[in-house]
Amino acid sequence: MNIEFLNKSVLVTGAARGLGYALSESFAQRGAQVHATDILDIELEKLKGLVQCGRGGTVETYCADITDVAQVESLVAGIEDSRSGQSIDIVICAAGGIVGQEAKPIEQVSQHEWRAIVDANVTGVFNTVKAVLPSMKLAGTGAIVVISSGAGFRVSRTGIQSYAASKAGQIGLVRQLAHEVGPFGIRINSVAPGFMPTSPDYIRQWEGYGSEGQIALKESIALRRLGTPEEVAHAVMFLASEYAAFITGQIIAVNGTPS
């Protein structure tokens, strides 16, 4: 199976680091015209020089906050204008996370803290999908992949409430939208990775486990190791490709263990 995205336009949110970076590079290596966006402007600018492209692939970067609907609409309109009004072919929603927060009892969680994570993980996906769908519907085609989480399948006893809720919310949104946009030839799926220390928040969490906790986490995984961003990217690219033309509304766990 040789997956290529020659001349396909791909929007990747949360592209500056970790999984988003790996996704941007994976698509660019296979010929895609990648439009990478994030709020981390300095890291995003570095991405353009670091990503290795192949088969005619390119990377353009855009600093935008996906929780701001006006910024998302402007971003998508600009990309479509650069394509002479053509729709974006593939959208990868990888932005989100725990927004620098740590686990604590729910009675100590402020409204601001709750909304910050829900906005990053759910509202951001809503804004992005809403912005790209009109042109996708006119084109009669499109593929969307949302990076959700194992939280949608198995919730940690020591996790962050709004993170677990928002990731489960992403899965519900994917399943509902699959029915809504399917008649227009548009597919939407989700990839749910296992834990990976790929950003400062998750590195801090990993280090907080200590050596015993890290060993215990790996021992709880059937394959006895953590996954890599590249392994998650492989699943995302499959779902975005024509090889998955009859797959929609699905959540694919890439976590090395039975869900």
Determine the average pLDDT of the residues in 245-257.
96
Residue 156: its pLDDT value, please?
Answer: 55
* Rounded Cα distance, 238 and 86, in Å: 23
Q: Is the pLDDT of residue 189 over 60?
A: yes
44-82 b/e with 16+ CB inside 10 Å = b?
beebeeebebeeebebebbebbbbbbebbeebbeebbee
Choosing from 163, 202, 209, 243, the catalytic residue is: 163
pLDDT tens across 152-184, in order? 344 455 579 999 999 999 999 999 999 999 999
Q: What was the pLDDT predicted at 152?
A: 38
Q: Does residue 163 have an active-site annotation?
A: yes
**Percentage with pLDDT > 70 across the chain:** 96
For the chain, which residues make up each domain, given as ranges? 9-196+229-253
- Full-model pTM: 0.94
pLDDT value, residue 199: 84
Three-state secondary structure call for residue 146: strand
Query: 9-196+229-253: which CATH topology?
Result: Rossmann fold (3.40.50)
